[in-house]
A and B are shown apart, each in its own frame.
Chain A
Amino acid sequence: MSTRSVLEGIRVLDFSWVGAGPLATKYLADFGAQVIKVESRKHLDLGRLSAPFKGNISDPDRSLFFLHSNTSKLSITLNLQHPKGIKIAKKLVLLADVVMENFAPGVIENMGLGYHHLKQIKPDIIMASSSIYGQTGPKARFRGYGNAGVAISGHYVSTGWPDRDPVSPGIAYADVVQPLFTVIALLAALEYKERTGKGQYIDTTQIETMIQFIAPAMLDYFANGHIQKRMGNRCSYACPHGVFPCEGEDRWCAIAVFDDTEWKGLCQVMQDPEWTRNAKFATLSSRKENEDELESLIGQWTIDYKAEDLVTKLQGTGVPSGVVQDASDLVDRDPQLRVRQSFIRLEHPVIGECNHPAPPVKLSKSSAQIKTSPCLGQHNDYVYTELLGIPGEEYVELLNDGVFE
């Protein structure tokens, strides 16, 4: 078994900030790439300003949001508004395989660090830009906030109850989806470079990646002219399919029945009450026709039980089911996440020991080796003096000149 991290030897110069960019480079860093996060005290990563903060003290080294999106990286501070800062950034590019950025389109060009600039000094560089709409097109300069990607791509309008307004997912979902494709693109580009010696430029967008995740609805529109309606928790080929109230405050159990075997399993757990023998509920299509009534009857049964107990019984008869968990269930109790080490306890120099999120993908021979996230500028010495070899005197001069702010 190999002990070498899978991406060891790959160096990433990472200008990205907030959510969608850092989550992509986190993946690479967790699997062994050296990711140097370029930050500035003059223009802090908004991630460092995002709650929650350890001890409720707002400080760039205390944001837990930042910690969760930037594990295993190095951090340097570099003033990109200073001409000498740009020069140093270019020297770092010479040592890098990959450059990542997610400024508003055009910004990195204006700094003189666009792909065509970098390609001149390092022809085989791989560069990825991540944005909402992309680097080209009439809306390239569009700016929006967190949920713009969810809204523009059609996800927002598709989520919710049929008789109500759409509901935004409780997370900035595009910030979760887009980085996956950025990582795929970067790994594909590294593979391509290994074979051909060529670098390339990658342009990933929130909208174009999110649309992949509603592709059947898009095809329904293009092929049939049909605009799908919001379905709440229902599913066209399963019934019952929803969440049902259980004992306790805001406790629910999710149940999904796709075929007659699972239906029989559910009836068995309910101890075959009279109503389950009604022809109205005999087949999937008849259950679909009487879904309101069915959901109400099941809800009258579930309400008297603890969600956990119901799921144990339902799993016993092979019915897909799960507790609607809250974060305390996940963090404090979930035995599966514990065994799989989904959260890893690591020591952070300022925050102390706490949970760090591990990748949900396990490789049998080259597992992730997660380290804590860096404090602001924590690796200036290593990167500037050791890696770039800037002599002590010059380093102090640059420091006094504000280049490392």
Chain B
Amino acid sequence: MREPVDGGPVTNRLTVGEAQGVWKAFGETQALRDVSLDIRAGECHALVGRNGAGKSTLVAILTGLVRPDRGSVTLGTEATPSLADRASWQRLVACVYQKSMVVPSLTVAENVMLNRSIGNDHGIINWRAVRSRARQVMLDWGFDLDVNRLAQDLSVEQRQVVEIARALSVGARFLILDEPTASLEKAAIERLFERIRRLKASGVGILYISHHLEEIYEVCERVTVLRDGARVLSETVSEIKQEDLVEAMVGAAPQRVTEIAAPAQKNESERPRLVISHLHVPTTLGPVEDVSFAISPGECVGLVGLRGSGTATVADAIVGLVKLTSGEMLLDGKRLSGGNVNGTLRQGIAYVPEDRHARGFIPYLGVGENLTLCILDRLSNWGLVSHSRHDRVAADLVDQLSIVSSGLSQQVGQLSGGNQQKVVVGRALARKPVVLIAVTPTVGVDVASKELLLNVIAEAREGGTAVLLVSDDLEDLRICTRLLIMVKGKLVKEYAQQPWSRHEVIAAIEGLAPTGNGTTKEKRDE
């Protein structure tokens, strides 16, 4: 047997990482309250929780990027180094983030051995040694990857291997995998699990963060659930049922989603306004596989899924921001020209984009101008914008949405987040669209604005607009008349009418097998 590089695989059952009674607050928000967690050598410990539960903060504390307000962190047998001593942290714990930390213009070998001199202390690099050490790391851990390839030529999966190899070659025996399967295909996920099992057998301790609960049952031994910054559960995976896991994530009270208008399923006979059939989008843009659905006038369909499940991509595809591989989209029986945003918007589809800063509004223009940006053609004669009409329309919208500003000319960039979002929604509604596509319209806004935005969208629906609401916020879904659940690019479930069970919806979003029937009907496999 070869000499293992930098320690190689070792087996012991020690604790590789531990947090004890950790507290952390960011300003007003208490991100973590008294959280304890330990990861043993040779085990895979799952960390789950809804968005904002405190997972990222805990990871930042465990990797030494953030100092806890109270409580302590122990890595292996050593006391934790000071935050400035990055090199020591790296020897003890490594995190593979969702965002790639590979330098594309360098080779695999160099990425693995990044910033470590090999040879003498003068910083001169011995290329032969770099390559052979990297190759040795790959061999020791059973990764098969040519170390001479450039990182930019690698697949997402192979880049992940490079990052894991880098972490292990430094000597870290505590590995944090942050949603490692989010951008992998099925076969690649299987190979990742195989690697995880091999790492466990070699005595590496893994903290595994994922939204997909079924993965946890496959590779993890223990699971810890965070909710609102507190640990609500820590259990052996084999001894906990999926329902209990979901319940721990959502909260104990099994409340139903409260419905305001309890919108009836009307216009059943009417022809659907928007028909999407067999939509496919390439994996690189966020996978969408064979998605079909229809929306009738006066309907509000909630398209629900985790980030990366393809829900936002479907919305982008309908608006024309994303090119389809295949599939057909019909608006009132007419084909929508995919990949042409302008054309789509002119046909009466309005869009509230996911990232309002990037695509939503123009920060240096006034409230009035932003609101009327899409309807200037209607407000002008022979190309000259009528100011009185412009102001009237804008003032009406400001009124309808209760936008708080010092006047129509105040720059939108100066408004609060909630009011900015109101401007974005107001602009979309200004055209009186036949179809409204809204992607996470209430993200990052305060409770009052949220209420108002949802009511405005609900009103538009009652006025006959067909609404597609993409969101993973259960609050948003109360205005929906129907829910479609997406997991990993596929439609998996449909909830035909309110009320639906909060638990069931969440379980479906997380990709779990159905736990009950109720109002549920299984989406046929087309």
Q: Is A bound to B? A: no
Using a CB–CB cutoff of 8 Å, the interface residues on chain B facing chain A are none
Using a CB–CB cutoff of 8 Å, the interface residues on chain A facing chain B are none
